[in-house]
Structure 1
Amino acid sequence: MSIKLEAFRVFRAVAEAGTLAAGARAVGRTPSAVSMTLAQLETEIGAPLFETDRKNRLTPLGHRVLEESSRATDVFDRAVSAIRRHAISSAGSVRIAAVPSAAIALLPETIERFRREHPHVRIEIADTDTTAVRRRVRTDEADIGIVSAGSSDPPQGALIRRDDLGVVCTEGGPIHRAHLAEAGSSSWRIMELEPLIANPLCQLVDHPAIRDLLSTSALEARNTTAILTFVRQGLGASILPFDSVRGQPDGIEFFVPSDPATQRELRKIRQDGSRMTTPAERFWEML
């Protein structure tokens, strides 16, 4: 059996797109060429991969082949990406996946220090949520991950810093006015005065009012810039660490309720047992 990687890539495109025509567009080939490739693949395998000629429903074997095709093409693409990174930067590269608040508050200073020592090393930053950061590190799409965790969560990775979580709301809005009326001593229940803009950090607050608001929230965002934009537009209030709002333009207020005071931890993670490049190891130490 001599199956080429490109056949797997074509099959994956059609299976994920749901039609032959859409799959052909995805790989930039004609439907007839794609149809021929699929026929050759099925001949090599010795069994059909689609239930019908429309290519819109996989056989049980087709589902299994899709899993293996996805795995094979992903591994190949990561290898090619790594080769290109090294070709672009002979000094090496450092790939970092971080939660957005860390990308804003933590990475600029570290990058500035790192570049003084390693001015020619290529640095790649992906800001995303904690779950995606862990996945990128696990699948070797990132050398270093920076995740958010609650202070009561099982410790994973190395602690970078702790900071308080607080309410982010519009200046002069219902929550801000109530906070001022309470002389600065507010409960998390004050969040009930405005719609909650949910984000993963909200889940770290152990308060019934926040749990109720999370269950009914109609707006969720995971990017810090988007959250602050929505707050400034009066779409609701959210929960973020102070580092996320420091230096923001006027119109945003931040305060920390105390029932209970809730801290967020930033932790750095890496693949267990993996050996990082010298630049990545140095960046890890600087964090």
Structure 2
Amino acid sequence: MSIRLEMLRAFSVTAGQGTLAGAAAVLGRTPSAVSMMLAQFEQEVGGPLFETDRKNRLTPLGQLVLEESLRATDVFDKSVGAIRRHVLTSAGIVRIAAVPSATVTLLPDVIEVFRRAHPDVRIEISDVDSATVRARIQRDEADIGILSAQPGDPLEGERILSDDLGIVCAEGGPIHKAHLATDGASDWGLLRLEPLIANPLCELVDDPHVDQMRLASTLEARNTTAILSFVRRGFGVSILPFDAVRNQPDGVEFFVPTQSVSQRELRKIKQEKELLRGPVFDFWSLLNE
């Protein structure tokens, strides 16, 4: 008998659960069936994988085998997932992980054009921050990632567009009034007049006032719609790109400080060695049009 994938999976699940009963529940097998499979696996490996019969402590050999088992089952699961995605519909599927501002402003126009050519393609969009975009691409949980980056940073992916970062505040609030009083010659120091609703884009602004306010913030949000709602309710002010607020709702104002102007770039990323095909390639190409 040779080592089979189901042995690797049974072992890694048992090691994670710590008991035969827990592993059996996850695998949909009886505890005795799991125990028998583990015994066969240890015989094939040539040594004990658990310190005791309780299955809650691994031997040094078991630690090594666990790492390889997880690696093997992960590769298998990704391959199966890719095959299933390909046959999910007759047309295919496009999985996108994007920062909220891109979801609100960039993707609707792209999707409108894309669906004219691919009306039957399934589109799945995850609205997440830049760090999660990277993670989902690396884990093959998305085909295309769209993230925010600071111009001048080491290149990551391909640039889609750039726009100015600015302060979004409530109409008639302290910061809005102070901005009007400066005749447009304002700086990021105005943020001291109101609480800051922090979000990951604040980190792209290279200004000490923003750094101080971000560290002192007691409210953080990552969704553009939520941030605008909080600003409108008077919870504070935030920093967003112009493109995200060009059609801002009533009661909200946006301006770009004239001193220490900061920008953000939207960039598209994919797995480094991934060759895009079919609908995914078409969507990738449309992002720059």
- Tell me the TM-score range normalised by the shorter chain: 0.7 to 0.9
Q: How many angstroms apart in 1 are the aligned matches of 2:234 and 2:21?
A: 44
Q: Secondary structure of the residue that 2:159 maps to in structure 1? A: strand
Q: Is the 8 A contact 1:78 1:141 kept in 2?
A: no
Q: Is the 8 A contact 1:94 1:279 kept in 2?
A: yes
Structure 2 residue aligned with 1:124: 124
Deviations 1:58-115 (A, max 9, x none): 4444444443333333322222222222222222332222222112111111111111
Q: How many angstroms apart in 2 are the aligned matches of 1:251 and 1:21?
A: 58
Q: TM-score, normalised by structure 1?
A: 0.82
Task: Report how far residue 209 of structure 1 moved.
Answer: 1.6
Q: Secondary structure of the residue that 1:94 maps to in structure 2? A: strand
Q: Secondary structure of the residue that 1:90 maps to in structure 2? A: coil
Q: Secondary structure of the residue that 2:119 maps to in structure 1? A: coil
Q: Is the 8 A contact 2:51 2:58 kept in 1?
A: yes
Gaps of 5+ in 2: none
CA gap of 1:173–1:10, structure 2 versus 1, over 3 A, is farther
Structure 1 residue aligned with 2:163: 163
Q: Is the 8 A contact 2:184 2:258 kept in 1?
A: no
Structure 1 residue aligned with 2:114: 114
1:258 aligns with 2:269: no
Structure 1 residue aligned with 2:196: 196
Q: TM-score, normalised by structure 2?
A: 0.81
Q: Is the 8 A contact 2:166 2:240 kept in 1?
A: yes
CA gap of 1:258–1:282, structure 2 versus 1, over 3 A, is same
CA gap of 1:11–1:259, structure 2 versus 1, over 3 A, is farther
Task: Report how far residue 211 of structure 1 moved.
Answer: 1.9
Q: Is the 8 A contact 1:178 1:190 kept in 2?
A: yes
1:285 aligns with 2:282: no
Q: Secondary structure of the residue that 2:261 maps to in structure 1? A: coil
Q: How many angstroms apart in 2 are the aligned matches of 1:242 and 1:147?
A: 16
How many residues align? The count is 287
Q: How many angstroms apart in 2 are the aligned matches of 1:249 and 1:22?
A: 51
Structure 2 residue aligned with 1:249: 249
1:77 aligns with 2:43: no
Structure 2 residue aligned with 1:268: 268
Please say which structure displays the higher CA radius of gyration: 2
Structure 2 residue aligned with 1:145: 145
Give identity over the alignment, percent.
64
1:221 aligns with 2:221: yes
Q: Secondary structure of the residue that 2:154 maps to in structure 1? A: coil
Alignment of 1:165-184 (within 5 A): 165-184=165-184
Q: How many angstroms apart in 2 are the aligned matches of 1:230 and 1:22?
A: 44
Task: Report how far residue 116 of structure 1 moved.
Answer: 0.8
Structure 1 residue aligned with 2:239: 239
Q: Secondary structure of the residue that 1:8 maps to in structure 2? A: helix
Q: How many angstroms apart in 1 are the aligned matches of 2:42 and 2:195?
A: 53
Q: Is the 8 A contact 1:164 1:241 kept in 2?
A: yes
CA gap of 1:93–1:211, structure 2 versus 1, over 3 A, is same
Structure 2 residue aligned with 1:206: 206
1:135 aligns with 2:135: yes
Q: How many angstroms apart in 2 are the aligned matches of 1:107 and 1:143?
A: 15
CA gap of 1:83–1:176, structure 2 versus 1, over 3 A, is same
Q: Which amino acid aligns with 1:165?
A: L
Q: How many angstroms apart in 2 are the aligned matches of 1:225 and 1:26?
A: 38
Task: Report how far residue 149 of structure 1 moved.
Answer: 1.1
Q: Is the 8 A contact 1:195 1:237 kept in 2?
A: yes
Task: Report how far residue 207 of structure 1 moved.
Answer: 0.5
CA gap of 1:264–1:43, structure 2 versus 1, over 3 A, is same
